[in-house]
């Protein structure tokens, strides 16, 4: 397999685009470097790079592409939007329809607002929580990514529940002091944080099922306890469902798990591949937002017809029967195939999977928080990634990301993937 054109394009890119990529995770920095593959075209579960190599895609653009590339129903919606005009700066009927679809699927969204990215959605839920409670601080869980707004680029301090440190240059100490980071799935650490700062906490930001240090489910009762303790302390509960909404069922992780937050942030899948974000929640809380309330949020592109019509079309595809059953069955098949092959060749892997999303960790026995994921072997993941790429299987280039199946993957695609994995494990350089 030649990557000649990608190599040339990467050289050209670095000369004009900072770092050659428009989002750092697209560089291969996290896997020891290399040339990111430049994709040219995608169809269904496949995409093709500029050197005309074909891949089975498990990156799914970091999540949004749940119906595969260029799904005809979504393509048609985008074409129609283009013909009708993509931006008016006025309300449209499509926004009403889409907001109803979201609320029907996720009833805690009594009122909704559309924005343009997951980052914006999360950032605004924090503002709403602060406006509503009149408090400043937030609690987040270690290793969970919530976009790149200042407040959420804060990492854990040294203890189990301490004030945070900036995780990025340009995020000030004074901002980091507003964030308390505790380990996911550790209700004692959470309670300790509330005992210490409870009356200063505006909101608790939670990925109800983690997608950002691999797929990690909450322990039974964890989210319920978080809700109860947060509410006792007078704090709001904010679910970041940017990855999870419509990923595991038609609705949110909150529906799947039977827990209800006060506010929810959405993105990714709900745009059908076009840029979008949304946030919403209890009416009386959302009424803090302008034009009804004193908290400001706006957007020239917010609710633009192209993204909204693509999002409606994507949800329509996901409403079809058996979509999530199929994703689950393919996920089972993939998990079982990788695990069997790893066992056969003596490669120590742990696979966390929920329905059509999974993560393969090397050299750790169990992953239920960030620390465990950190301990997984990054060198082995990097080798696995690069060897699979050469065999036409494309994953996200990070040991912390998930594999995402789409509605367009077939059993044959999964079998081909397992064969490629088996070949990599057969020739495993760490054996």
Minimum gap (Å) between residue 39 Cβ and ligand PMP:
18
Residue 117 or 254 with smaller CB distance to ligand PMP? 117
Minimum gap (Å) between residue 279 Cβ and ligand PMP:
11
Minimum gap (Å) between residue 431 Cβ and ligand PMP:
34
Residue 243 or 306 with smaller CB distance to ligand PMP? 243
Minimum gap (Å) between residue 104 Cβ and ligand PMP:
23
Sequence-distant (≥ 6) Cβ neighbours of residue 88 within 8 angstroms: 305
| Distance, CA of 105 to CA of 246 (rounded, Å) | 9
For residue 324, indicate whether it is catalytic.
no
Check residue 246 and report its DSSP letter.
T
For residue 268, indicate whether it is catalytic.
yes
Q: Which residues bind ligand PMP (CB under 6 A)?
A: 62, 117-119, 122, 145-147, 207, 211-212, 240, 242-243, 267
Minimum gap (Å) between residue 242 Cβ and ligand PMP:
4
For residue 104, indicate whether it is catalytic.
no
Pairing status of strand 393-394 against strand 54-57: parallel
Sequence-distant (≥ 6) Cβ neighbours of residue 41 within 8 angstroms: 47, 48, 69
Sequence-distant (≥ 6) Cβ neighbours of residue 63 within 8 angstroms: 211, 242, 243, 247, 268, 269, 402, 404
Residue 242 or 342 with smaller CB distance to ligand PMP? 242
In the set 10, 58, 132, 145, the catalytic residue is 145
| Distance, CA of 46 to CA of 392 (rounded, Å) | 10
Residue 101 or 122 with smaller CB distance to ligand PMP? 122
Q: Are 268 and 62 within 8 A, CB to CB?
A: yes
Residue 115 or 414 with smaller CB distance to ligand PMP? 115
In the set 137, 140, 268, 326, the catalytic residue is 268
| Distance, CA of 362 to CA of 381 (rounded, Å) | 7
In the set 240, 262, 328, 413, the catalytic residue is 240
384-387: long-range contacts at Cβ-Cβ below 8 A with a sequence spacing of 24 or more? Answer: 384/360, 384/424, 385/31, 386/31, 386/34, 387/424, 387/427
Return the active site residues. Answer: 145, 240, 268
């Amino acid at each position: 397999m030649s990557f000649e054109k990608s190599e040339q394009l990467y050289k050209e890119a670095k000369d004009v685009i900072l770092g050659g990529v428009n989002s750092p995770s697209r560089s291969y920095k996290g896997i020891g470097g290399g040339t990111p593959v430049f994709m040219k075209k995608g169809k269904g579960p496949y995409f093709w790079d500029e050197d005309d190599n074909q891949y089975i895609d498990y990156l799914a653009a970091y999540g949004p592409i749940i119906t595969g590339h260029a799904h005809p129903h979504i393509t048609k919606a985008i074409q129609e939007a283009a013909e009708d005009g993509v931006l008016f700066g006025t309300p449209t009927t499509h926004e009403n329809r889409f907001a109803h679809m979201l609320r029907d699927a996720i009833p805690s969204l009594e009122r909704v607002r559309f924005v343009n990215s997951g980052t914006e959605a999360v950032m605004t839920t924090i503002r709403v929580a602060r406006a509503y409670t009149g408090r400043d601080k937030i609690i987040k869980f270690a290793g969970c990514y919530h976009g790149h707004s200042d407040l959420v680029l804060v990492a854990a301090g040294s203890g189990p529940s301490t004030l945070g440190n900036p995780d990025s240059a340009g995020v000030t100490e004074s901002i980091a002091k507003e964030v308390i980071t505790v380990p996911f799935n550790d209700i004692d650490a959470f309670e300790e944080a509330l005992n210490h700062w409870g009356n200063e906490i505006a909101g608790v930001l939670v990925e109800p099922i983690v997608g950002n240090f691999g797929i990690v489910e909450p322990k039974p009762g964890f989210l319920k306890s978080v809700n109860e303790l947060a509410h006792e302390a007078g704090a709001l509960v904010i679910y970041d469902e940017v990855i999870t909404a419509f990923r595991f069922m038609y609705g949110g992780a909150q529906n799947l798990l039977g827990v209800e937050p006060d506010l929810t942030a959405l993105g990714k899948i709900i745009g059908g591949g076009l840029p979008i974000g949304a946030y919403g929640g209890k009416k009386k809380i959302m009424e803090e937002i302008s034009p009804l309330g004193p908290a400001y949020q706006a957007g020239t592109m917010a609710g633009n017809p192209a993204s909204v019509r693509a999002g409606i079309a994507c949800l329509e595809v996901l409403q079809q029967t058996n979509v999530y059953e199929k994703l689950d069955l393919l996920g089972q098949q993939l998990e079982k195939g990788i695990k069997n092959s790893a066992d056969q060749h003596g490669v120590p892997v742990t696979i966390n999977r929920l329905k059509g999303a999974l993560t393969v960790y090397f050299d750790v026995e169990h992953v239920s928080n960030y620390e465990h994921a950190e301990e997984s072997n990054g060198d082995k993941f990097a080798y696995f990634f690069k060897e699979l790429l050469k065999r036409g299987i494309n994953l996200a280039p990070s040991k912390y990301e998930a594999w995402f199946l789409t509605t367009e993957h077939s059993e044959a695609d999964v079998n081909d993937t397992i064969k490629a994995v088996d070949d990599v494990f057969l020739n495993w350089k760490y054996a």
